[in-house]
Structure formats: C-alpha cells, structure tokens
Amino acid sequence: MRIFSKALEGSVLRYLNISDNALGEKGVRAFSELLKSQESLEELYVMNDGISEEAAKALSELIPATEA
C-alpha cells in the first residue's frame, strides 16, 4: 500500500475505492499522508479492509473537511 500511496502523490482525487484490500492498521498509516493532501476528495470507500473501528475513525479525521 505504501507504493500505491506514493504513486498517487501529487494526484487530485475525487473518488478513491480501496475496499477489499486487507489494509489493516499498517495500510491506514501508509495512506495517511496521501489522504491529508486530498482537498478535492468527495468519496472514499474502505469496505472490507480489515481495519478496526478506531482506524476507520482516524481515516475520517485525515480527510480535509469540505466547505458547503
């Protein structure tokens, strides 16, 4: 996941589906910097990734808030 995250650096993402990837806690950490930089991200799908509820909450806090 770290390689995938590095490959996406500098990209402007609106939609990201990383479901069914067995991310686990390490995968969440690998994506943390990428998600922090995604101001245009509108949808993030992380279903069936083997992450805890705490990690899911941490992911949601990494995504910049959008202004209505």
| Residue 21 belongs to some domain of the structure | yes
Whole domain around residue 13: which residue ranges? 2-62
Q: What is the pTM of this model?
A: 0.71
pLDDT for the residue numbered 49? 85
| Residue 68 belongs to some domain of the structure | no
Dist CA 16 CA 18 (whole Å): 6
Q: How confident is the model at residue 15 (pLDDT cuts 50, 70, 90)?
A: very high
pLDDT for the residue numbered 17? 92
| Residue 44 belongs to some domain of the structure | yes
pLDDT for the residue numbered 54? 85
Q: How many domains does the chain have?
A: 1
pLDDT for the residue numbered 32? 84
Burial grade of 57 (CB within 10 A; 0-12, 13-18, 19 or more): exposed
pLDDT at 66 over 70: no
| Residue 43 belongs to some domain of the structure | yes
pLDDT for the residue numbered 6? 87
